[in-house]
């Protein structure tokens, strides 16, 4: 799977660990920076670029990182078709996909350690939308996501 990634300086070390982990699993990384600690990028820039890649279909999923994860999540959710989830546990990472069909994951490089972040990314990457439960629940979740997409159509003109 193609995964767009980007981080500012507080998320950079974790981005590097997660990118290596994902490449080891066979994923292709589209890296929007930072590329080193010498050439700093704003969280706004990296989240915007990752979100554009996901919204356009150039990447199937995205991962954005800053110190808390909040700034990159806010920026990502300003893009039509991008549903970014800021998560704090493996369960919420899984639910972001299963229930909300999130396509971008936001993490805080100053909040979570590499071991937990890796587990959260694995849950995000392997969970399918509406995969748990019965057919009626899956239909309800699809209906709710369609309502969100209709809101986007009205709000992003």
CB 89 within 8 A of CB 112: no
- Residues 132, 157: Cα–Cα separation, whole Å: 34
- Residues 9, 43: Cα–Cα separation, whole Å: 8
The DSSP element (H or E) to which 44 belongs, if any, is helix 43-56
pTM across the whole model:
0.93
Round the average pLDDT of the chain to a whole number and report it.
95
How many CB atoms are closer than 10 A to CB 92? 17
CB 27 within 8 A of CB 1: yes
Nearest to 104 by CA among 140, 80, 68: 80
Percentage above 90 pLDDT, the chain: 82
Residue 18 main-chain phi, psi, to 5 deg: -70, -40
Q: Is 84 a catalytic residue?
A: no
Which CATH fold would you assign to the domain 2-129?
Ribose 5-phosphate Isomerase B; Chain: A, (3.40.1400)
| The two three-digit tokens of residue 66, written as one number | 């800053």
Which among 3, 54, 66, 76 is annotated as catalytic? 66
Say what the pLDDT of residue 52 is: 98
- Residues 80, 100: Cα–Cα separation, whole Å: 15
Residues of the chain with pLDDT under 70: 132
| Cis bond before residue 34 (omega within 30° of 0) | yes
Tens digits of residue pLDDT in 53-86: 999 999 999 999 999 999 999 999 999 999 999 9
Say what the pLDDT of residue 134 is: 81
Domain extent listing, the chain: 2-129
């Amino acid at each position: 799977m193609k995964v767009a990634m980007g981080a500012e300086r507080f998320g950079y070390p974790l981005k590097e660990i997660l990118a290596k982990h994902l490449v080891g699993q066979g994923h292709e990384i589209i890296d929007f920076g930072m590329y080193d600690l010498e050439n700093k990028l704003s969280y706004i820039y990296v989240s915007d670029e990752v979100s554009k890649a996901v919204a356009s279909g150039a990447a199937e999923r995205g991962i954005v990182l800053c110190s808390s994860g909040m700034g990159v999540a806010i920026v990502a959710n300003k893009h039509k078709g991008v549903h970014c989830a800021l998560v704090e546990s493996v369960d919420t990472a899984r639910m972001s996909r299963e229930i909300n069909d999130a396509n971008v994951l936001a993490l805080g490089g100053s909040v979570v350690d590499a071991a937990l972040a890796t587990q959260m990314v694995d849950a995000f990457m392997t969970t399918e939308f509406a995969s748990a439960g019965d057919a009626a629940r899956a239909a309800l979740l699809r209906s709710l996501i369609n309502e969100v997409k209709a809101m986007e159509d009205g709000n992003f003109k």
